[in-house]
Amino acid sequence: MPNPLPAPLTFYPAYCFSLSPTHNTWARLTAADVHALRERTGFEGQNLFFHLNHPIKWIRLVGVIVAVDLYPTRWIALLDDSSGATIEITCGRPAPTPTAPNANSTSLAEGSAGLGRLDAFDKGVTATGRDVDLSGVDIGSVVKVKGGVGLFREVRQMLLERISIIRTTNEEAAAWAENTAFRKEILSQPWVVSEEEEKRARRKAEGLDREKQARKERKKRKLREEYDGKRAVAEKEKRRAERKRREEGQGRREGEAGPLGRQADGEHRKRRRDVEKARRPKSEDSGA
């Protein structure tokens, strides 16, 4: 169970997290520390947790691999760091490359669980899409692992990002010394932000928000201008096409009329002239 929180604790707004010594770094924790991390209302689903009032997103652990489970899409190892708790380390695995069937397919399938498949387990894919080298990691390996904090079936686990094998006693002792110093200097006391620092962080965040909003407005305006331009071009093309269709239709009608149509039109005009001449007064004709 998580230890009771010392009082009082001040939890600062997210715009202050850039000032935190734990937020954007690999926090040196133990497995027991990870299981004791607390969640906070308003940060659900962000894989963001708190030790005291320290915001923690990325962690580093040191310990011994005591179990390894291999699944088609997951690699899971169990880490024991002698803190009184163990923790699962997990990452994805790349999709297997299909191979063409051959005469040895039966024997390969029968031996798929043997050493012949070890090469397929040497690579992993992290939650952020990075490739990670798992070669040499086995039960009994002392490792230094870095990653995020995840939750699976209400149990904390590490989402692996980096892993390295510790091969010497001196290297292991140095890693544990880093953990001790981190706990003494940072984790043992609450995080404190002065009023002036909080004001500066808020002003900076507001400026970033305004710039973000301005970029959004510029993008929206650009898209609108592009849309209006495309619409104007489309309207122009539409009018040109309609005018062309009218001209083609008029030419087609004139072509269909042919010589007979033109002759009938001439006769019609002649009859109209005769009718107009018959209607004129005789005095006009004699005077002419």
- Could you tell me how many residues make up the chain? 288
Report the half-sphere exposure of 98 (CA within 13 A, side-chain side): 2
The answer to whether the beta carbons of residues 90 and 150 sit under 8 Å apart is yes
Q: Please check whether residues 249 and 167 belong to one and the same domain.
A: no
Alpha carbons 103 and 113: distance in angstroms, whole number:
19
Alpha carbons 124 and 90: distance in angstroms, whole number:
9
- Tell me which residue range forms the domain holding 183: 14-94+112-193
Q: Which of 158, 193, 228 is the last residue of a domain?
A: 193
pLDDT in tens, 141-164: 999 999 999 888 889 999 999 999
Q: What is the pTM of this model?
A: 0.63
Residue 7 falls inside a structural domain: no
Alpha carbons 159 and 88: distance in angstroms, whole number:
9
Alpha carbons 48 and 27: distance in angstroms, whole number:
12
**Number of other residues whose CB lies within 10 A of the CB of residue 156:** 19
- Which 8-state DSSP code applies to residue 115? G
Q: Which of 164, 193, 222 is the last residue of a domain?
A: 193
pLDDT in tens, 46-101: 889 999 999 999 999 999 999 999 998 999 999 999 999 999 999 998 876 665 55
Q: Give me the pLDDT at residue 106, please.
A: 44
Residues β-bridged to residue 27: 59
Spatial neighbors of 20 by CB under 8 A, at least 6 apart, are 54, 55, 191
Q: Please check whether residues 78 and 220 belong to one and the same domain.
A: no
Residue 233 falls inside a structural domain: yes
Residues of the chain with pLDDT under 70: 1-7, 96-121, 208-214, 251, 253-265, 281-288
Q: What is the CATH number of the domain that holds 121?
A: 2.40.50.140
Spatial neighbors of 72 by CB under 8 A, at least 6 apart, are 93, 96
CA 191 to chain centre: 31
Count of domains observed in the chain:
2
Alpha carbons 201 and 203: distance in angstroms, whole number:
6
Q: Is 31 exposed, middle or buried (0-12, 13-18, 19+ CB in 10 A)?
A: buried
Spatial neighbors of 137 by CB under 8 A, at least 6 apart, are 65, 68, 77, 143, 163, 165
Alpha carbons 224 and 190: distance in angstroms, whole number:
50
Q: Please check whether residues 237 and 181 belong to one and the same domain.
A: no
**Number of other residues whose CB lies within 10 A of the CB of residue 172:** 17
Residue 284 falls inside a structural domain: no
- Return phi, psi of residue 210, to 5°: -65, -40
Spatial neighbors of 94 by CB under 8 A, at least 6 apart, are 123, 124, 125
**Number of other residues whose CB lies within 10 A of the CB of residue 108:** 14
Q: Give me the pLDDT at residue 241, please.
A: 87
Q: Give me the pLDDT at residue 4, please.
A: 57
Q: Give me the pLDDT at residue 243, please.
A: 84
Residue 189 falls inside a structural domain: yes
Q: Please check whether residues 131 and 56 belong to one and the same domain.
A: yes
Residue 286 falls inside a structural domain: no
Q: Give me the pLDDT at residue 258, please.
A: 59
Q: Quick one: how many helices (H) and strands (E) in the chain?
A: 5, 10
Alpha carbons 40 and 20: distance in angstroms, whole number:
16
Q: Give me the pLDDT at residue 118, please.
A: 46
Quote the Cα angle for 125-35-176, to 5°: 75
Region for 38 from its dihedrals, namely left if φ exceeds 0, alpha if ψ lies in -120 to 50, beta otherwise: beta
Q: Give me the pLDDT at residue 109, please.
A: 38
Q: Please check whether residues 210 and 269 belong to one and the same domain.
A: yes
Q: Give me the pLDDT at residue 7, please.
A: 64
- Which 8-state DSSP code applies to residue 38? B
Q: Which of 170, 193, 216 is the last residue of a domain?
A: 193
Q: Give me the pLDDT at residue 115, please.
A: 38
